[in-house]
Amino acid sequence: MVTPGDVLGKATEVKAGKGAYVAKHNGFVYASLTGLLRTLSPPSDSSDQRPTVEVTGHKAHGVVPELGSVVIARVTKVMARMASADIMCVGPKSVKEKFTGIIRQQDVRATEIDKVDMHLSFRPGDIVRALVSFDKLSLGDARAYFLSTAQNELGVLSAESTAGGTMIPISWTEMQCPLTGQIEQRKVAKVGS
């Protein structure tokens, strides 16, 4: 493990790879980020036989949402035309960085899009399965991914009722509190067959 400024060797003996640089004033190779140091052997056919040193930052190991990935996210805010959510997993892997997703009204379901009521589809705290429909679109300064729940298997997976119970899906638009029997509207993900 190295940190920025750590000496990785002399430029006459090693080449600077990713996460490393050569200081012109003294000819030493330094780490430019915190991470794991790796030394790569030079290709046998290369005239330069110095090994390459590189630093792999901890974020490089984390999974990143991509167009077409299925993600699990927690709804943080519901507005009239969209809901925002924090992406927690991409496929089966949890994320190490914070990624924000936006579910727009037109991306909630495939039919009757004009009748979608965001407040009857999602609530803050709901756990949803969604598809990344547009990669990294900028909303102000924050990076955000547009998410879609328009397929049957996408939507709310888990929700907590006002009474604090974990709700049970009873249809593709409703979930029921096991404690009070109260029914709440949601865009429910179809689970199983």
Task: Answer whether 31's CB lies under 8 Å from 37's CB.
Answer: yes
pLDDT band at residue 193 under the 50/70/90 scheme: very low
Are residues 89 and 176 part of one domain?
yes
Within a domain: residue 47? Answer: yes
Lowest mean pLDDT of 50-59, 72-81, 126-135, name the range.
50-59
Are residues 79 and 51 part of one domain?
no
Within a domain: residue 191? Answer: no
pLDDT computed for residue 140 by the predictor? 42
Within a domain: residue 163? Answer: yes
Domain that holds residue 138: 70-185
CATH number at residue 34: 2.40.50
Between residues 33 and 19, which one has the greater pLDDT?
19
Are residues 127 and 38 part of one domain?
no
Over pLDDT 90: what percentage of the chain?
A: 57
Whole-angstrom Cα distance, residue 56 to residue 34? 8
CATH number at residue 164: 2.40.50.140
pLDDT in tens, 148-169: 999 999 999 999 988 888 999 9
Buried b or exposed e, range 133-159, using 16+ CB within 10 angstroms: beeeeeeeeeebbbbbbbeeebbbbbb
Are residues 78 and 53 part of one domain?
no
Are residues 84 and 33 part of one domain?
no
Whole-angstrom Cα distance, residue 8 to residue 52? 10
Are residues 175 and 82 part of one domain?
yes
Q: How many domains does the chain have?
A: 2
pLDDT computed for residue 23 by the predictor? 86
- Write phi, then psi, for 161 (nearest 5 degrees): -80, 170
pLDDT in tens, 89-121: 988 888 877 889 999 999 999 988 889 999 999
Are residues 99 and 20 part of one domain?
no
